[in-house]
Amino acid sequence: MSQDYKFEGWLGKDKESAQGNMVWGEFPHVKPFEETDVDIQITHCGICGSDLHTLSSGWGPTPYPCCVGHEIVGKAVRVGSKVEKGIKVGDRVGVGAQNSSCLKPDCQECSEGLENHCQHTVNTFADQYPDGSYSYGGYADYHRCPSHFVMKIPDGLPSEEAAPMLCGGVTLYSPLKNNGCGPGKTVGIVGVGGLGHFGVLFAKALGADKVVGISRSNAKRDDVLKLGADEYIATSEDKDWATHHARSLDLIISTVSSPNMPLMEYLQLLKVKGTFIQVGAPEDQLPQFNAFAFIGKGVKFGGSMIGPPWQIEEMLNFAAEKKIKPWINKYPMKDANQAIKEFNAGKPRFRITLVNEKHL
């Protein structure tokens, strides 16, 4: 089957691209089409902090030129004969932060539905397939992905809202669901921004008794309460906050990754047998902490990374059923560089979705 479209998008060619200096161009070394693949005509793509870390080589050397963006929604325009999930040409579909894993029956992670932890993962952008081809992300016109990692988007979920859920949303939904968020639980979300605001929305929808937004200042207090939080803590402005709220939370999800964050004080907020989950991925180290923060109350410290395909599908259906409405700022795909600059400046409340208007 021939194709009458090109794989083109916004390319980062060096570290300066993270400052809004991407260049539009054609992708080299695109993955050859296989019968298990889906080609997607992109209509929407969310901007994620991972995009900036990659463009700037903040997490390690980036294989330039790269096209970032792993919150992709669009229309299936080419579908292989061996695709999964009954995907057909014309379906509205999405792709998150993962494009591939080994999917071998002797892989413990893949066979247990934990594909996101497979040692042979291929990320949606700036990563290499076993055949030497590269993955290119969603600041683009088209995207090619193995169908196992392509999701159908529920009818009740607008594309501009579904896109940022595919990474940002599941990054919070997964640790909340996996750690028992629901009735009878009190939950704290550290850092209520692009990631954290999903934490407030999902924790409330999952039925937590109390949801507490935790941030440095009071600048976001009104917004976080509008999102549905029951309480707000401003760590740089509320006097004796750690003592006042000690032993009040069953579960804390941390989306921040500063080496200066008051980690020991956050742990003080946990109840006996509470759990702290880190999802914010730093370019440097986390703060030092001592063992007595865990031993004294028997608390657990863990981490979480996106979610497997089945859980992303579960989250999308849950969001459609509960009518969860993330706060979205839309920018035309042609203005991606400007959107990056405003993302860097911390302007969005709370996510940015790029809209590829020529494909609407």
> pLDDT tens-digit profile of 202-238?
999 999 999 999 999 999 999 999 999 999 999 999 9
Residues 319 and 351 in one domain: yes
Question: What angle do the packed helices 196-205 and 309-322 form, to 10 degrees?
Answer: 70
Please check the confidence at residue 48 and state whether its pLDDT lies above 90: yes
Residues 17 and 87 in one domain: yes
pLDDT tens profile 65-112: 999 999 999 999 999 999 999 999 999 999 999 999 999 999 999 999
pLDDT tens profile 269-321: 999 999 999 999 877 788 888 888 889 999 999 999 999 999 999 999 999 99
* CATH number for the domain that contains residue 315: 3.90.180.10
Q: Is residue 3 part of a domain?
A: no
Q: Is residue 39 part of a domain?
A: yes
Given this model, what pLDDT does residue 2 score? 56
pLDDT tens profile 52-61: 999 999 999 9
Residues 91 and 71 in one domain: yes
Q: Identify the CA nearest to 230 among candidates 246, 245, 208.
A: 208
Residues 146 and 272 in one domain: no
Residues 154 and 50 in one domain: yes
Question: For residue 314, how many other CB atoms are within 10 A of its CB?
Answer: 16
Question: For residue 149, how many other CB atoms are within 10 A of its CB?
Answer: 25
* H or E stretch at 273: strand 270-278
The Cα–Cα gap between 171 and 191 comes to 13
Residues 299 and 262 in one domain: yes
Residues 103 and 214 in one domain: no
Range of the domain at 67: 8-167+307-355
How many domains does one find in the chain? 2
Which residues, including other chains, have CB under 8 Å from residue 117's CB and lie 6 or more apart? 109, 305
